[in-house]
Structure formats: structure tokens, C-alpha cells
Chains A and B, each alone.
Chain A
Amino acid sequence: MLTFGEFVRELRLKAGLTLRQFCQYTGFDPSNWSKTERGLLPPPKSGTVLKEIARTLNLNDESEDYKTLFDLAAIGQIPANLVQNPHVMEKLPVFFRTIRGEKPTKKELEELIKLLGEE
């Protein structure tokens, strides 16, 4: 699974934006943003900032990429010990769909509840 930084970099290059252009549009410092893309700094927490990133990358707010951007930003805030657990990471998409109000299957929900109980 891509990290938040890797994902944004992929989208940025796909949109034909250089690091300089991206930072000019969003107001980020290029040195710090480069660290975010390389995973040396955590993703932004603010929804407003994430929306600005999505706007700069021309993401439609109904698109999968838009949702993934927010999901990966949230994963970037999760403690390292949980991120290193492959079972937790496997269930995160179900978790995010649940909190977005997108109904997961009964089986997916049961597995998620079981996993949360273990953690």
C-alpha cells in the first residue's frame, strides 16, 4: 500500500505539476513538502489543507482518489505499532468506509469488530 506522500507524489506527477508548482499553489514549503512525500514528516491533519491539496490535484470529491487521499492522511496519523500490523492495515479500508457511511458487508464488519477487540 502506498503511503500518503507516495500517493500524492504520484497524483502530482500525473497532473504534470513540479514540486515548485505544487508548493506555489498550496503554499507549502518545498523542503517540508518533499519530506512529507518521502514519509519523513506526517501528512497534514487539517481537512481544509487536505481539501486544498485535492483541489490543486484536480480531484473530484466523489472520486476514489479523493477518498484515498483522506484515508491515507488519516493512516499517517495512526501510531507506528498499529501501522506495522498487517491485519490492522488490511481492515482499514473497511473502517474508513464505515465512518464515511458507506455500508460494508456484514462479514467485513464482523472481522473489523473482532480485530478491534484484539487490539
Chain B
Amino acid sequence: MPPHLKWDFIREQAELFRKKYVNPADKLPIPMEKIVEIDLRLQIIPIINLQDKIDIDAFLTNDLKSICLDYELFIDPRRSSRLRFTLAHEVGHLILHKNEIQQCNFRTPEDWIHFREDFLEEDLNWFESQANEFAGRLLVSKEALKVQIENQRPKIDEFKKYCSEKFELSEAVARIICDKFGVSWQVIQKRIEKEKIRL
């Protein structure tokens, strides 16, 4: 069973990680491949058809030395935002779930399937959502998000005239600033919601 970590703790860990590895601290988008390989010395292992075989696009091996990645995800430039989030997500597991992952016995895609089968769906969701929160907070800091939103203020004020729903507005805003962070608009929309930012 995964630990039930507090959201504030996860965010704090993401901030500490950014301070340690992102230089300059306000660099956007965050160069996850460089951090993973050069700074953390994790080996990236692209595996052909990983997504088709086990229905996930990446996993951290239990010796904490490698990230196995879907080959197509790795080489497709149109999916660079997804790749960045995926790497940040696996780093989240490394930072938050080191002990749990080391205790598991998986090195291959097949081992990962067995590992997942042993988890209750609810626990697995919790495990993954913690890594997602880490990745979101790492790639999109609250401060940088506020700055980017203010930079787009005239456009946002224009959107307000046409967007009747709160989610319509946050999606429109997310779509115009997501490229700055190198993530999908869905990640930005989620951060706007989680950080309780008023548009």
C-alpha cells in the first residue's frame, strides 16, 4: 500500500527539486531529459511497443537506475510535452516512492504488469496521482504560472467576454500559455484549478 503523502509535502519536494536541479530557477520549459540523464544519472531505455505491451508509457526500474520509455513517445517530436511530463512523473516516483519501488521486484515490462496486478485500483490511483502532482508542480510553478497569465492579461480579458463557463475560460487560457512550459494545456488547466488562481 502506498504512503498517503500530504499534497503540501509533495509540492515542497517539487520546489526543493527545482531549486536543486533547474538553473536558472525560472528556466522554461524545464529540461527534463537533461536533468534525468546528466544530473540524476538515470539511464533512459526506449522500448519498442512498451505502451502496447503493458498500457503505460514509462516506468522506473526498481534498482532506481533507469526509466524505461515507450520508443514512439521518445522519438516523436509532436509528443515532446507528454514526454516531459512522463519523465517528471517518474522522477516523482523516485523522490516520493523510493522505498516502495525498491521493495518491488520489477525490471522488465512483464514484471511491471505483475506489480500492478498486486495493487488495489484505489491504491494505484493514489500512487500515480502523487507522482502527477509532483510533476505538475515541478514543471509549472505557481509563481511562473501567475507571471505567464499576467503576460496574457489583455487576451484573457477578451476571452472572458465569450467564455460563459469557468472551465471554458481556463481551457482557453491554458491553450495560449502551455507552450511556454512545454506541457499540454490539460496540465496547465489542472494547475490553474489546483493553485486556485483567479483568472
Contacts and interface: CB of A to CB of B under 8 A. Distances in A.
A30 interface: yes
Interface residues of B, number: 14
B45 A38 contact: yes
A31 interface: yes
Interface in B27-73: 33-34, 37-38, 41, 43-48, 71
Interface string B117-156: 0000000000000000000000000000000000000000
B74 interface: yes
Interface string A1-39: 000000001000100101110000000001100100110
Nearest to B45: A34
A34 B37 contact: no
Interface in B70-107: 71, 74-75
Given A30-B74, A30-B75, A31-B71, A20 B33 contact: yes
B2 to A, nearest CB: 29
B38 A34 contact: no
Contacts of A18: 33-34, 37-38, 44
The majority secondary structure among interface residues of chain A is helix
A88 B74 CA distance: 40
A31 B38 contact: no
A37 B42 CA distance: 13
- Interface extent on A, as a size class? 10 to 19
Nearest to B34: A18
B46 A30 contact: yes
Contacts of A30: 46, 71, 74-75
Given A18-B33, A20-B33, A31-B71, A13 B41 contact: yes
B47 to A, nearest CB: 7
A38 B61 CA distance: 14
Enumerate the 10 nearest inter-chain pairs by beta-carbon distance, A residue then B residue, closest first: A31-B46, A18-B33, A18-B37, A30-B46, A19-B44, A31-B71, A34-B45, A13-B38, A16-B38, A18-B34
